Amino acid sequence: MNIYPLDKNSYIFPNPIYADDKGLLAYGGDLNPSRIMTAYLNGIFPWYNESDPILWWSPNPRCILDFEDFKISKSLRKVIDKNIFEIKFDTNFTQVMKECKNINRENQKGTWIQDELIEAYTKLHEMGFAHSFEAYFNGELVGGGYGINIGNIFCGESMFAKKTDASKVALYFLVQRLKEKGFSFIDCQIPTPHLLSLGAKTIDRNEFILSVKKSSENLKEF
């Protein structure tokens, strides 16, 4: 098994087929916006702990959410219909990332969302590549998430909820927005029981990367 070092002077990534069984492909480099977007356009993303070097991943299989497969429970439908939450997009991107960083997650110690990641993705947001979806209750940000737009694919990165169902409702409205804009699906990266319960599924990495390559020919505005 080889994990490839990246050259800080080049944005070239090794072919994802050389990633290990879990998807770890390379380490090093930096979080320059151009490098990050090059990674996403090749089916790769950064994910690492504070004590690690920057690690770059391309898991196989890949988890995605087709919009038509999104599962809405009866209880969630009731919450949506009651308009309990006010939904916004791209109004508080950096704070969404900070909330995703600070939220306590079951069976997880610490966070992979480092301050340098927040700075890098905020730059991508300012450049129009990174976006947030947000749920508010009585004017307070209580749920949502963020991700990267590549062509006609939305690459979801992380979500948080400080009030029951807030992130699920925000995700529902994100799905509706992406459908209306002509997007194909949401990249969920790695399957979890929660994502699978919402209708996500896994596909072969090669199939995913082919979709990514085709997506660059179908650029959609968020």
Q: Say how far apart CA 26 and CA 14 lie, in whole Å.
A: 8
Give the pLDDT score at 193. 93
CA distances from 219 to 152, 183, 210, 212 (A): 5, 9, 15, 11
pTM value? 0.94
Give the pLDDT score at 173. 98
Q: What are the average pLDDT values for consecutive 10-residue runs of the chain, which has 222 residues?
A: 88 94 94 97 95 95 97 95 97 98 68 92 98 98 97 96 97 98 96 94 97 87 90
Region of residue 23 (left: phi > 0; alpha: psi -120 to 50; beta: else): left
Selection from 195, 220, 167 nearest residue 59 by Cα? 195
Helix 166-181 vs helix 74-82: angle between axes, to the nearest 10 degrees? 80
List of domains in the chain: 4-60 (3.30.70.3550), 63-215 (3.40.630.70)
Residue 67 token pair: 């919009």
